[in-house]
Amino acid sequence: MKTIGYAAQSATVPLAPFTFERRELRANDVAMEVLYCGICHTDLHQSRNDWGWSIYPVVPGHEIVGRVIAVGAEVKKYEVGDHVAVGCMVDSCQECDQCRKGEEQLCRHGNTQTYNAHDRIDGSITYGGYSKHLVVREEFALRVPDGLDLSRAAPLLCAGITTYSPLRTWNVGPGSRVGVLGLGGLGHMAVKLAVGLGAHVTVIGRTDAKAADAKQLGADAFLVSSDAEAMAQAASSLDLIIDTVPVKHDLNPYVPLLDVDGTLVIVGQIGPLAEPSTVPLLMGRRRIAGSPIGGIAETQEMLDFCARKNILPDCEMIRMDEINHAFERMEKSDVRYRFVIDMASLAA
């Protein structure tokens, strides 16, 4: 299938139109017209090879909502016209212990990323949702629940599940005390989802600049991390901290906020962190953990939960040809809180 998208041809050039071929449908494939695609910080990192493993050309995009336009001969879950979504992965071995228990993101053989990866069967480079069409294995296409706003749902496929998964793993519910470190694309979803699960939510920021935003999103409290007195008073007040900061930073000010057996979960930074002190870990039996996205079943659970609770990201819609300017703004945190590309702006 011939299609068009936007690609980075190297780490130093802007994204530009790119025509390429999607694979012919295998028996278990779903073909979709991409309607909306969210913009993630990962897209920027991969386009610029910040992590050192980009495969060019890179067609980013792993927050994808679309409409089924064709199905393979053995597809049973979907029909032409269904609204479906695709997140950060498009395949896994389906046979290891992790895949069998619905944790495809932790596949022992490595899941196949939606872009900047190699197809498990033919070895071709995977291209993401900054494109007019997508072909995906049936098992990795998610059903968009009725009533969920298609134009705002796309960021749920990364920002949503990245923050929902640790909330579920650490059994957040009524009575839980959750801190959210950083109020950006991931952080604002963490707030909305934790509130939806019934938790008492505290947003933690270096200044009070986003205090009003946090309250509007449903947070119960705002803690300024540069205020030593406020931080001391907040010691041992949280059961879980979702750390969404996407750059190297110091965890030492935040670990003492955890109560006994509390956990700080890193979901933002991929790479080095400042050296942590073990003192608050040992003295409070506290933990530092990491969490990627969730599995397919958990992602569907999250979409259904958001539909029931009417939880959606705060989005700014852009045209495909505005992507490079959006990247520049995202670097400056100049978006409240997630860009979404209206793919109708991309000519076929």
Phi and psi for 323 in degrees, rounded to 5? -65, -40
Q: Determine the length of the chain.
A: 348
Distance CA 7, CA 30 (A): 23
Parse the chain into domains and list their residue ranges: 2-158+312-345, 160-290
Residues 6+ apart with CB under 8 A from 104: 89, 92, 94, 98, 111, 140, 295, 296
Which of 28-42, 135-149, 324-338 comes out lowest in average pLDDT? 324-338
Domain 2-158+312-345 sits in CATH 1.10.357.10:
no
Under the banding of pLDDT at 50, 70 and 90, the label for residue 333 is: confident
Nearest CA to 147 out of 42, 260, 303, 348 is that of: 303
CATH topology of domain 160-290: Rossmann fold (3.40.50)
Residue-wise pLDDT for 71-96, tens only, equals 999 999 999 999 999 999 999 999 99
Give yes or no for residue 280 having a pLDDT over 70.
Answer: yes
- Rounded to an integer, the average pLDDT of 37-41 is 95
pLDDT confidence of residue 348: 61
Chain mean pLDDT for the chain: 96
Share of the chain above pLDDT 70, in %: 100
Q: Work out the pLDDT band at 165, boundaries 50, 70, 90.
A: very high
Under 8 Å CB-to-CB from 325, ≥6 apart: which residues? none
Query: pTM for this structure?
Result: 0.95
Residue 2 has pLDDT above 80, yes or no: yes
> Three-state SS for 241?
strand
* ω into 6 cis (within 30 of 0): no
Closest C-alpha to 102, from 91, 94, 110: 94
**pLDDT for residue 347:** 74
The yes-or-no verdict on residue 255 having pLDDT over 90 is yes
CA-to-CA dists, residue 84 to 6, 127, 133, 225, 303, angstroms: 21, 17, 12, 40, 11
Q: What is the mean pLDDT of residues 269-295?
A: 94
Supply φ then ψ for residue 138, to 5 degrees: -50, -45
pLDDT value at residue 203: 98
171-196: pLDDT as tens digits: 999 999 999 999 999 999 999 999 99
Distances (CA, A) of 306 to 57, 145, 291, 310, 340: 34, 9, 20, 5, 18
